[in-house]
Amino acid sequence: MVEITIRKRPQTEAVITQRKFFKKTARGKVVKVLRERYLRDDVACGIEGCRECSTEISRLLPLSGSLEHDLFPNGHYILPDTNVFLAQMDLIESSLFNPPMILLQTVLEEVRHRSLPLYNRLKALTKSEDKQIWVFYNEYRSETAIVREENETPNDRNDRGIRTAAAWYNTHISLTHTPVRGQKQMPHPTVVLITEDAANRQKAEKSGIVSVSVRRYVETMKDANVLLDLLSAEGSHNIEPTKAAAGRQALYPDYLPTPTLIAGVKAGELHQGHFNPNQYNYLEGSVPVPAFDKPILLVGRENMNRAVQGDIVVIEVFPEKDWKAPADEVVDQEAMQKNDDAEDSGEEGDENDEEVFSKESRVLSGSSNQKPPSERQPTGRIVGIIKRNWRAYVCHIDSTSLTSTLTTSLSTQTVFATPVSRLLPRIRLRTRQAPTLLNQKILVTIDRWDSTSRYPEGHFVRALGQVESKEAEQESLLLEFEVPYRPFGKAILDCLPPEGEQWVVPPKGEFDLQNIWRDRDDLRDVIVCSIDPPGCQDIDDALHAKLLPNGNIEAGVHIADVSHFVLPDNPMDSEAAARGTTVYLVDNRIDMLPSLLGTNLCSLRPFVERLAFSSIWELTADAEIVSVRFTKSVIKSKAAFTYEEAQIRKDDPNLHDELTNSIRLLNSLAIKLKAKRMAAGALNLASPEVKIHLDSAESSDPIDVEQKELRETNSLVEEFMLLANISVARKIEESFPQTAVLRRHLPPPKTNFEKLQDILRKTKGFSLDVSSSGALAASLDECVDAREPAFNTLVRIMATRCMLSAEYFSSGSVAKDTFGHYGLASEIYTHFTSPIRRYADVLVHRQLSAAIGSTPLHATLHSKSHVERVLDVVNRRHRMAQMAGRASVEFYVGLALKARGEQARARGEPDVREDAYVIRTFRNGVGVFVSKLGIEGLVTFKRETQFDAENYTITVPGAKEEVKISVFDKVVVRIEVEKDKNTQRGKVKMTLVEPVDSSAF
């Protein structure tokens, strides 16, 4: 019998083993929390061959440490403190930075507390095969565990814990490197504390611990010239500041303290929201807040106070007499600041600086106060930042900011990095690689923005490749919109079926060892087909319809049963939740799930048995729902059609087979379902969609662009997907009223439509009724110009932009009267039909499965707070995926236009010319929409024009007489793709050809 020894801990140890702290609950009650920790003396040090520690883990730190650093010829390990990871993560992640590293539990927990995104990056590094990192649980080793002393701050306690662990490691290593009898004792490696805190370094050195700053450590590394560029400016306080930031008066007001901001927002004296810069005028921005119908307008650099797109800011609103209207002038940041010097910009007495300020002052004192009071909106200034949205930005080096372009030069230069997004300010950075980075796309991170500096300061992260190379352009697009595109790791791939591509639905009966057929309907003999865009590989949905003996119709939507393969809370599920959605680019697809599932085992391919989740209705001939049932099923699709193929089959009078009749039945029901939706007030909105024709799958070169053609079969699929989503939404909300995953589209504020209403009334004489979605739908139908068929589509596109974005939410988080979907005129809605490419649909599948009693609901989906957190990520990923898709189309449209222009010039023909419609007028230009290409452009005028803001017209000089141009006018534009000579960034340039040639002015 095994002998069991019970050891009673002495009372004196309680001071070390117990952690006591006070916590405030959500209701404001203060409670004492007492946590017990069990100290051990067998927590391994992680060093290979250590005689004192035993561990079965294979990935250990080398016995001699790293011998490649000049400062530590006898070998060393580094032990960074928390601030190193918070400020220098780009350095730590670099493949050139790979010394053996000891990561303390104290540091890991503090990073998690300070920044969850950085914590996730750090956790990923600990699992990376390319890094030598050992996580040491110092809080649980008896020799390194400490307790907070009286009057000691948490930060000082953590610093002391880090020093204690570093000292223990050095002692421990000396004990495990005892000499062998008869051999000379060799020096043992040193544990080096890396910290930016000078006081912490001094205390460490007094205790005999070797300690250096990050910069000092990197300066003597082999690849110092590259690695020094990765250092964050935030962590480089010992560098001499640039002239632009040193000894200068403040350009921006200081932020209010955080407690003051929070108290002001709670009291309603200040307002909080996300900062949105104006895409046409870099001197204006806005912040939507709940207290006002219109966004708060910010005018001028000082009032925008160093905010960057997406920052959560706090606003002080000015008295109503000081409210303004947005300016009517296009103000281009690059044109205004093209002569700025990266090193000297902002110096007192600098002539260019004074010239820029003078220009900006003229713009700001322009016409905004001459507008009618109805156009004015709340105006204010930023007094603080709650949360920065700083991240890595895709940029180009501005060649005019270099002091030396010699590629052999290794001197540090201060240069401007111009972001690809025109909504961002230029970033000042120091680099030794500036000459070699010209004509490349690079990644730059903002580190700080001092009140004395006109520009934020940042650091170089890495080069992405040559400008205009498809690889660099595609990667930069993914990075710009924060699309996770790393390959799926081993832990994720291990969650896939071990049979791989050989996996099949097992036969019924004794061979069904996993009980896959349990509670599943056998629908393999049902005439099911899928209808998708050409080339679709991830087939989410299939449909069927058949006549019933009672004269009614059975219709079914069958969705891939992804939740059978993606189980809750495993690595694949966590990765899918983090990605949120599949991202579709013109020539690439970034999958949410591994391709084995997305394009094979879950894809409802024809003639293959597949697991499905089916919604089956009994409907009358008038499309009235008699009943609906939901069931897990096994289907065997009889065909996979494109929209065009299904349309041709439906329209062929010679075909009367079961499959064709099924499509015709579905189509007849879809027409009636759509009519019912429209009668209920659903909106028929529009968005510019184009199709890019590629040369071949291998080259991905665009050869032409055309508008997508929508057929009856597009509407057929859409109507049944909507019906399934609405039916499922009702079921899961009924079963799980607190945590059902739903999707809503809130009614837009009526103020969003004011400008469009005014434009339509003054230019075309139409009235736009926005009192309800039905009224809006009816008035949009009446906006028809017999002379211009495209006018109605253009109005619908502009109306779509006045809408709010749809969003996922948890049913218990909002009032039930806000569940509705405004655009669809539905009281409740969700997403069920695309689980291969949307994570929200996976969650809905799990809830529906539990609602019908097929599987129990995982505990996480009973937690309202958990569902809210997941959906916050999914909403953000969904928005970014949409923007990435649009940006990809714009890039390929640009390539196609460039190729078309070159071909035209080679044939001696004029440049590319297209019909366009004016959608906005400015004091110095017009915004146009080219419907054929689905792109917008800006035509600017340098000569004086007559601008009538009230009637949305601009009068420009013509060849014989002045020409008046109004919103909705049809014009012809010349389209070119030109490269900025400084940044090498390609951009589409448009000039008017008709009714007047604007190239002359």
pLDDT tens digits, one per residue of 602-652 = 999 999 999 999 999 999 999 999 999 999 999 999 999 999 999 999 999
Helix ranges (DSSP H) in 680-804: 712-735, 754-763, 773-782, 790-800
Q: Say what the pLDDT of residue 152 is.
A: 87
Q: Which residues contact 643 (CB under 8 A, 6 or more apart)?
A: 531, 532, 533, 711, 713, 714, 717
Give Dmax over CA atoms of the chain in angstroms: 110
Ranges for all domains in the chain classified under CATH 3.40.50.1010:
42-179+186-236
Strands 639-642 and 529-532: parallel
* pLDDT top residue among 591 and 986: 591
SS3 content of the chain, % helix, strand, coil (to 5): 35, 25, 40
Are the CB atoms for 130 and 186 separated by under 8 Å?
Answer: no
Q: Say what the pLDDT of residue 848 is.
A: 97
- Separation between Cα atoms, residue 472 and residue 694, nearest integer Å: 19
* pLDDT top residue among 247 and 510: 510
Helix ranges (DSSP H) in 185-284: 198-206, 214-219, 224-227, 258-267
Question: What's the Cα-to-Cα distance from 175 to each of 166, 169, 189, rounded to whole Å?
Answer: 15, 10, 12
pLDDT band at 689 (very low <50, low <70, confident <90, very high): low
Q: 10 Å Cβ neighbour count for 420?
A: 18
CATH of 42-179+186-236, one of 3.40.50.1010, 3.40.50.11720, 1.20.140.10, 3.30.70.980: 3.40.50.1010
* pLDDT top residue among 28 and 470: 470
Range of 11-25, 421-435, 485-499, 624-638 with top mean pLDDT:
624-638
Mean pLDDT over 586-607 rounds to 92
Q: Is the pLDDT of residue 170 over 70?
A: yes
Least confident of 221-235, 402-416, 854-868: 402-416
- Name the β-bridge partners of 985: none
- Kindly report the CATH number that applies to the domain delimited by 392-480: 2.40.50.700
pLDDT tens digits, one per residue of 700-727 = 555 566 666 778 899 999 999 999 999 9
- Separation between Cα atoms, residue 55 and residue 40, nearest integer Å: 14
pLDDT band at 371 (very low <50, low <70, confident <90, very high): low
Two structure tokens written together for 227: 């690695």
Q: Is the pLDDT of residue 459 over 80?
A: yes
Q: Say what the pLDDT of residue 433 is.
A: 86
Are the CB atoms for 796 and 653 separated by under 8 Å?
Answer: no
Q: Is the pLDDT of residue 873 over 70?
A: yes
- Separation between Cα atoms, residue 419 and residue 421, nearest integer Å: 5
- Separation between Cα atoms, residue 200 and residue 203, nearest integer Å: 5
Q: What is the pTM of this model?
A: 0.85
- Name the β-bridge partners of 355: none
Q: Say what the pLDDT of residue 793 is.
A: 85
What SS3 string covers 770-837?
CCCHHHHHHHHHHCCECCECHHHHHHHHHHHCCCCCCEEEEHHHCCHHHCCECCCCECCCCCCCCCCC
Q: Is the pLDDT of residue 694 over 80?
A: no
- Separation between Cα atoms, residue 345 and residue 243, nearest integer Å: 8
- Separation between Cα atoms, residue 427 and residue 403, nearest integer Å: 17
Q: 10 Å Cβ neighbour count for 118?
A: 16
- Separation between Cα atoms, residue 495 and residue 566, nearest integer Å: 8
- Separation between Cα atoms, residue 697 and residue 687, nearest integer Å: 27
pLDDT tens digits, one per residue of 211-227 = 999 999 999 888 888 88
Q: Say what the pLDDT of residue 185 is.
A: 61
Burial 46-56 (b: 16+ CB within 10 A, else e): bbeebeebeee
Range of 160-164, 349-353, 512-516, 896-900 with top mean pLDDT:
160-164
Could you give the 3-state DSSP secondary structure of residue 582? coil
- Separation between Cα atoms, residue 203 and residue 197, nearest integer Å: 10
Ranges for all domains in the chain classified under CATH 2.40.50.700:
392-480
Mean pLDDT over 272-298 rounds to 92
Q: Say what the pLDDT of residue 688 is.
A: 63
- Separation between Cα atoms, residue 343 and residue 322, nearest integer Å: 36
Indicate if the alpha-carbon torsion angle 299, 300, 305, 308 is positive or negative.
positive
Burial degree of 537 (CB within 10 A; 0-12, 13-18, 19+): middle
Q: Say what the pLDDT of residue 630 is.
A: 96
CATH topology for the 910-1000 domain? OB fold (Dihydrolipoamide Acetyltransferase, E2P) (2.40.50)
- Kindly report the CATH number that applies to the domain delimited by 258-329+367-387: 2.40.50.690
Q: Is 500 left (phi over 0), alpha (psi -120 to 50) or beta?
A: left
Measured in residues, the chain has a length of 1001
Q: Which residues contact 926 (CB under 8 A, 6 or more apart)?
A: 918, 920, 938, 939, 954, 965, 971, 992
Looking at residue 372, the DSSP 8-state letter turns out to be -
Two structure tokens written together for 484: 């996770």
Ranges for all domains in the chain classified under CATH 2.40.50.690:
258-329+367-387
Closest CA to 130 of 431, 486, 591, 441: 486
Q: Which of 736-739's residues contact partners 24+ apart within 8 Å by CB, and which partners?
A: 736/811, 736/847, 736/850, 736/851, 736/857, 736/861, 736/862, 737/811, 737/812, 738/810, 738/811, 738/812, 738/864, 739/810, 739/811, 739/812, 739/847, 739/861, 739/862, 739/863, 739/864, 739/867
pLDDT band at 355 (very low <50, low <70, confident <90, very high): low
- Separation between Cα atoms, residue 700 and residue 696, nearest integer Å: 6
Strands 440-448 and 457-466: antiparallel
Closest CA to 65 of 169, 183, 197: 169
What SS3 string covers 600-660?
HHCCCCECCEEEEEEEEEEECCCCCEEEEEEEEEEEEECEEEEHHHHHHHHHCCCCCCHHH
Q: Say what the pLDDT of residue 349 is.
A: 46
Question: What single string gives the DSSP state of each residue in 39-108?
Answer: -BS-----BTT-SS-----S--B-TT-B---TT-TT-EEEEE-HHHHHH-HHHHH-TT----EEEEHHHH
Mean pLDDT over 7-13 rounds to 59
pLDDT tens digits, one per residue of 61-114 = 888 889 888 899 889 999 999 999 998 999 999 989 999 999 999 999 999 988
Q: Is the pLDDT of residue 695 over 90?
A: no
Two structure tokens written together for 966: 């109004």
Q: Which residues contact 303 (CB under 8 A, 6 or more apart)?
A: 380, 381, 382
pLDDT tens digits, one per residue of 548-582 = 999 999 999 999 999 999 999 999 999 999 999 99
The rounded mean pLDDT for the chain is 86
Q: Is the pLDDT of residue 233 over 70?
A: yes
- Separation between Cα atoms, residue 427 and residue 443, nearest integer Å: 11
Ranges for all domains in the chain classified under CATH 2.40.50.140:
910-1000
At 362, which helix (H) or strand (E)?
helix 351-364
Least confident of 504-508, 664-668, 693-697: 693-697
Q: Say what the pLDDT of residue 273 is.
A: 94
pLDDT tens digits, one per residue of 307-343 = 999 999 999 999 999 999 888 888 877 777 766 777 7
Question: What single string gives the DSSP state of each residue in 257-322?
Answer: PHHHHHHHHHHTSSEEEE-EE-SSBTTEEEE--TT-SSPEEEESHHHHTT--TT-EEEEEEPPGGG
Mean pLDDT over 845-871 rounds to 94
Q: Say what the pLDDT of residue 348 is.
A: 47
pLDDT tens digits, one per residue of 249-259 = 788 999 999 99
Are the CB atoms for 561 and 845 separated by under 8 Å?
Answer: yes
